Amino acid sequence: MIPDSLLDAIREPADLRRLPHASLPRVVDELRERLIELGASRGGHFAGSLGVVELTVALHAIFETPRDRIVWDVGHQGYGHKALTGRLDSLAQIRRAEGPSGFLRRSESPFDVFGAGHAGTSISAALGIAEALRRRGEDAHAVAVIGDGGATAGMAFEALNHAGELAALGPALRVVYNENGMSIAPNVGGLSRSGDVRGYCAALGLPVIGPVDGHDLEALLRAVAELRAQSGPAVLHVRTRKGKGFAPAEADPYRWHATGPFERAGGTRPAGTSGPPSWTACFAEALMRIAARDPRVVAITAAMPDGTGIDRFAERFPERVYDVGIAEQHGVTFAAGLASEGLRPVCAIYSSFLQRGFDQIAHDVALQDLPVTFAIDRAGLVGADGPTHHGVLDLAYLRAIPGLVVAAPRDENQLQHLLATAIESGRPFALRFPRGAACGVALDPDPKPLPIGRGELLQDGTDVALVALGKTVPVALAAAARLAAAGVSAAVLDARFVKPLDEERLGELADRIGVVLTVEDHLLAGGFGSAVLELLASRSPGTRVRRIGIDDRFVEHAEQDDQWRQVGLDVATIADAALAALAASAPPGGRQSERGRR
């Protein structure tokens, strides 16, 4: 606590509202400085929160939160909101296990009235809240705070369109449209180019206040008060600068959207430790190598060029990249249209974001058997971003789609070959890979297609078969070594493909060994293990199958290694599970024989 600090004395927004307006500029200065100190010491989402400090203070000063509900789009600009709503002291632990989430969580605070981690949801949610309040006769407001990047999402238009329809009923929806020219990357699209927010909203029947300088606190307080006084849905257009108050972030908000710890005075970041490149970088390099020999290849990103590696691809092939904005549904069908005319589009989208495009994958790509490749980054558990960003549903929703090939590489060399397989197959193809550093293996000189539906037996065994997928393969190999030290012979199969499965190898292992453990960084329900279980139930019905993966829960934010231990994907737990499966399958009086364990 800082002596004489106004910010430290604010334990809830009511304390802020008790201050004279003349004190609010000091609160703004203290809050911005505290956020810079937090970023320097802890890292995390950074430039977004700095850009809305004045707006955050103004909203909580004018609206009677939590009776008036504020819904922040995405939520990574919500650190200042957390500081003003009783969580200032805990921000030092943000994104760590047991600390606050980097996003908004209903379970964390009554001031977080609607959780988020994906863009474009705020207006829909706030409109629903406002309509519920109206139906109950409550005199309260619902405020959606959305950036111009988030407004590129189709849901934002759909919600504004519906708000125009409900306007006659008078729900107390208030929308703050924060124009800063950015999502994570620089913003794209026709509305961004024209800047005609007033005309856009007027066409939907919604009045607009502004534009207002989002860093002129006095003007902003007046505008927010005017917004609150409106009857029926209304929009406040503010203009802010992402990264405001920290010169390096203002100069390059793209690179300072999120950060690790840095030196406060000049923004110098510690030199990175040497090690393998990221999976994302390996994907980008492989895509460039394939594109250099195949002019049909084009790349699509949904406002995430840096996170998906498409920014690297764009440096070499700028005319072959499309950033569609935060519009995954459109991006998938746009890719389908490109593919229908002979191109080979690669949609590079995070696993959790691709959930939004499920219908388009099924209806527009797979049903028409179009050669679209989905490069699915951030598959599995992602660490500090937590449950909104874990990619643990993709196998279940993708393998249900007829005709879609689904694969996962165990290392970066296999990644380049599977990417070549996908693009050259002429089929709908999904390739998932994790966040973080790759394995550091040597790359073959040229990416070449692999046989679809064929796994690789990495080591043979006689007692138990470990059938693993993607990032879990090295862990399965380490578990097999641990089992060998205990006198247990374990086969390890890298499945490579979830769909189609390698029925021949899986059947042979099941028939010969009789005990199979599947290992996946995905929910057990409907995942890779379920696919194997379904196959063996009909192919080799006497096989004892045990699935290792994530049970029916959302995994909280923590370090990735800790998350893997929590869900039982560590070496010791896998080895123990194999021993338990062997013990359960042994005949009475002793261990199984080496053959016919069924």
Distance CA 289, CA 312 (A): 12
Residue pair 289/416 in contact (Cβ under 8 Å)? The answer is yes
Say which residue the tokens 């409109």 belong to.
127
Q: What share of the chain is helix, strand, coil (3-state, %, to 5)?
A: 45, 20, 40
Residues in a beta bridge with 259: 44
Let me know if 448 is a catalytic residue: no
What tokens does 583 get? 């013990």
**DSSP strand pairing (405-407 vs 297-301):** unpaired
Largest CA distance in the chain: 83
The active-site residue out of 131, 328, 412, 520 is 328
Distance, CA of 381 to CA of 389 (rounded, Å): 8
| Whether the Cβ atoms of residue 94 and residue 253 lie closer than 8 Å to each other | no
> Residue 274 in contact with residue 403, Cβ under 8 Å?
no
| Tokens found for residue 165 | 């329809």
Cα gap 102→122, rounded to integer Å = 17
Q: Which residues pair with 179 in a beta bridge?
A: 239
Q: Tell me: cis bond preceding 261? Omega within 30 of 0 counts.
A: no
> Do 592 and 581 form a contact (C-beta atoms < 8 A)?
no
CA dist 176 and 143 (Å) reads 7
Is residue 341 annotated as part of the catalytic site, yes or no? no
Cβ atoms of residues 30 and 9 within 8 Å: no
Catalytic residue among 228, 312, 356, 597: 356
Rounded CA-CA distance 375/59 in Å is 40
Residue type, 328: E
Sheet of 497-499, strand order: 321-323, 297-301, 344-350, 373-379, 429-434, 405-407, 497-499
Q: How far is CA 462 from CA 192, 209, 283, 459, 539, in A?
A: 62, 73, 36, 10, 20
Residue 356 a catalytic site member: yes
- Residue ranges of alpha helices (H) inside 411-471 are 412-425
Say which of 69, 242, 471, 499 is annotated catalytic.
Answer: 242
* 276: number of Cβ within 10 Å: 15
Query: What is the 8-class DSSP label of residue 92?
Result: G
The C-alpha atoms of residue 592 and residue 520 are separated, in whole angstroms, by 26
Residues ≥6 apart with Cβ < 8 Å to 364 = 332, 333, 336, 370
- Cβ–Cβ < 8 Å for 284, 329: no
Query: From CA 469, how far away is CA 335, in angstroms rounded?
Result: 27
Q: Which residues are catalytic?
A: 242, 328, 356
